[in-house]
Structure 1
């Protein structure tokens, strides 16, 4: 991607509009000391960022989030085969040109070949990973599709291990039935008429019912695998999980519209589903040709389902091989036409026409941008100063850190926070507010613990809980308890604040010259 147009002179990005507390200052002093630490610096930084409470992950694809090693183990256990030419997981029997996936247990070279094919393992960092990254999903896709509950249990455990409390993960149950319905109905540019034909005779409701049943089965499998409700429950059982329905933007217009309609219907009728998103490469030929049409689909369907939330991959583009014309409007149209409440990636911001206006609009609407640094580097080759992270923050756009497909990318959210701190010089209070933002801009229902516009005004508790946050020494009063009892969002935010108090107590002691926290 060529250099983006330079930003005009801007204030210090993301300046915290509040003085740090004494505990925050001590913790920040410890973090600063690690920047000049000795040979143990790497381990100490990793320990700090692993233990840092990090709110939630709002941009996460379930099947791309699971460890590749776990997928290989599942494939072996199922007796699946690997087509050696591609290499792609296929159903048995293992005939000519295939090998049993179980061979990866003992054959190291074969195992590493599968790891390379199914993830970014050992991928040369100097090469563009775009095509390889997106090709992995078709290669391993059969495996998680057979075990959605087990995959959810594995991913939930990994998120909990990262000291996160909440996960919005992207799934697409019953998408095959949605595609079948779309093919039967066909495309109609008259969107109200198109929707009427989909909904006629309860056909869309039938697909939604199938999606709910598939989700019921997956969650039952999760609870069994994670042993939830027993005295041996796994950490993932404590995680709050909700779903974003993903529609495939590379499909025909009727399929994209039908999947969006299904996702929005679920978001209004099933509390486990909160929002819709459009996935697949944004630079694919159909995705590019139909981009504006798809934004109009979202806008129309939001009039039918006004309570459904919307978050959209937008601006996940680079100039090569995309025509420069396609870099000029994607984020703007996601915001202005589709009315998205969050933008996924948003990397090409400064290549867009009048991008400053788009940034100001996002700031005014509190339209957050979801930033997965490792994914942006691997797919687009965008990192460091070329990334618009500081630009968004300077304009007051809410920013949340995310992982995207951590299993494929072989990363985790702790690495994303550490990268942000080291690359952009973030202080501990700034990191803490990034974690708070990941819950503030989550679609979890209920009133927030914070008032006003936190990105502009800082994280100030609502009147009901003022002076009563964890660590204040005061127990929450009746009004605060009522808020926490009525709001799923405020309840998770409260848990994040309590975790931060514990974290600051631990690492603040180090800054005060006391014992180093254990790994």
Structure 2
């Protein structure tokens, strides 16, 4: 077992009792049996892999659609569209002139196929190598593919999410990028969020962009249903996956574009239920992202007041000593939580390098600001793993923690691997794994009331009164519980997961099939 904390932090980082996670709970008889089964197979990699693939694993809440598509699938889409690949392994539009090759050549030239896959993903990247630059460079290399066919990409990803025994997905996409660039160029940025917002609204410019984004989403939905055969008598599994989109904002862009994308995403979230909010993407350590960080927080403060129905998960603290000057390690997570009032933060590995980090952790615990943890991504991009990772620090302070994949296509990983890593690196018990899966639904942005009462991170997962006497996976829910499940998409998804846990407990120890959704 790896040590859980860096030397010297075990006592100085102690959380006050009011802000600690719930104490270990007494497992039920079924959970105790599953815990024994897990302990028995910890040194049996094949069986352990089966266990974690079958384990119900909630939702993926930190997920970039383009980066989630399997690289081989992107290459097939490139071939179908007649795209070309240049000498830098970058996809470019046809015709394929000098210095380029048709992407379709990858179908019959294995060496070319493998070279593209390596350039577009972390495949064969040296373990322990500095993967930061290679990781982020992949997106530019397959960008010409990713900007096309959002529906086909989602069909592949949704099937994989369901196969991983997950029940919902929040994924980041970039709505109408060319339209946003055009509106930003026409509107400009004068340093004042309120004035710039008024100019975006003047003459219906922003509303026209929202309408275009809704139409784009309609087209993507239609393409998804066709690709996944959702209207046939043999629909693919992804057809039944609840999906919500988070509009991404390119934090490395000029202020006019950043503000326009923020406003578009927030206004879109209040108009179209398929969208829930916005997030800042691109490397947090980029020169423009660092220069404009405080400005981006100011923009968000204004727009959050204008669009209170939009949700805000933020990449924050995806930084590490040596990657940026020390001054940039001091407050990014704190500002995301206390200035922008983010409802979830992503990565946030730099916590213990920030000023007043304990106060930030206590604030996150009190507000139930969840942290999204993609272990593989943190290791590949920043080299942060094991005892260096603040995973256990967040948990000790009572901060809600959810596991995520980030860009599983680029990283060549899946959510089962993330759960398995957590169990092995931090010696997590079966009930702890189960509660991580529950947290990923509890802190999702799906609408409606929760199946759980109070603050489950601090007080444990106890069903609300309406469903207290009903047992998922067993008898028909009580009338009041059925009413909650019918009215609340979130509670309905949580109920499905609890029923899957019931089936999982009865099947996994006997080599039965993976629990169905």
Instruction: Give the TM-score normalised by structure 2.
Output: 0.95
Report whether the alignment pairs 1:18 with 2:25: yes
* Whole-Å separation in 1 of the counterparts to 2:491 and 2:128: 43
Alpha-carbon distance, 1:346 to partner: 0.5
Which deviates more from structure 2 when the two are superposed, residues 54-63 or residues 189-198? 189-198
> What is the aligned partner in structure 2 of residue 6 from structure 1?
9
1-structure distance, mates of 2:24, 2:458: 7
Change in 2 beyond 3 A, CA 1:314/1:207:
same
**Corresponding residue for 2:417?**
415
Which residue is equivalent to 1:187? 189
2: distance between equivalents of 1:187 and 1:432? 47
Q: What is the aligned partner in structure 2 of residue 72 from structure 1? A: 75
The offset of 1:475, in angstroms, is 2.5
Q: What is the DSSP-based 3-state SS (H/G/I as helix, E as strand, rest coil) of the residue aligned with 1:503? A: helix
Question: 2:55 matched to 1:52?
Answer: yes
Corresponding residue SS for 2:123: coil
Identify the residue that residue 124 of structure 2 maps to in structure 1.
Answer: 122
Give the aligned partner of residue 506 of structure 2.
505
- 3-state DSSP of counterpart to 2:372: strand
Give the Å deviation of 1:18. 2.8
**Per-residue displacement from partner, 1:149-168 (whole Å, max 9, x unpaired)?**
11010000010100001000
For 1:168 and 1:197, how far apart are their aligned partners in 2? 31
- Secondary structure at the aligned position of 2:159 is classed as helix
Aligned to 2:3: none
Q: Deviations over 1:291-315 (max 9, x none)?
A: 1110111111010000110000000
Q: Which runs of 5+ in 1 are unaligned?
A: none
Matches of residues 2-401 of structure 1 in structure 2 within 5 Å? 6-7=9-10, 8=12, 10=14, 17-36=24-43, 41-84=44-87, 86-401=88-403
Q: Is the 8 A contact 2:21 2:399 kept in 1?
A: no
Which sits farther off after the overlay, 381-390 or 317-326? 317-326
What residue number does 2:497 align with? Answer: 496
Report if the CA contact (8 A) 2:469-2:478 is conserved: no
Structure 2 SS opposite 1:350: helix
Given that 2:318 and 2:350 are in contact with CA atoms closer than 8 Å, whether structure 1 keeps it comes out as yes
Counterpart position of 1:477: 478
Shift of the alpha carbon at 1:110?
Answer: 0.9
Describe the shift of the 1:305–1:4 C-alpha distance in structure 2 as closer, same or farther (beyond 3 A).
Answer: farther
In structure 2, C-alpha distance between the alignment counterparts of 1:435 and 1:504, rounded to whole Å: 15
Aligned partners of 2:22 and 2:459 also within 8 Å: no
Secondary structure of the equivalent of 2:278?
strand
- Contact in 2 for aligned 1:5/1:350 (Cα 8 Å): no
8 Å CA contact 1:5–1:351 kept in 2: the answer is no
Instruction: State the Cα distance separating 1:212 from its structure 2 match.
Output: 0.7
Could you tell me which runs of 5 or more consecutive residues in structure 2 were left unpaired when the two chains were aligned.
1-5
CA contact (8 A) 1:279 1:313 kept: yes
Taking a change above 3 Å as real, the CA distance of residues 16 and 237 of structure 1, as seen in their structure-2 partners, is farther
Cα RMSD of the aligned pairs, angstroms, is 1.5
Tell me the number of residue pairs that the alignment of Structure 1 and Structure 2 aligns. Answer: 505
Matched-pair contact (CA < 8 Å) for 1:4–1:350: no
In 2, the alpha carbon distance for the partners of 1:475 and 1:19 equals: 26
SS in 2 for 1:168: strand
C-alpha separation in 2, matches of 1:5 and 1:172:
43
2:9 is paired with a residue of what secondary structure?
Answer: coil
* Per-residue deviation, residues 371-430 of structure 1 (Å, max 9, x unmatched): 000000000000000000000000000000000000000000000000000000001110
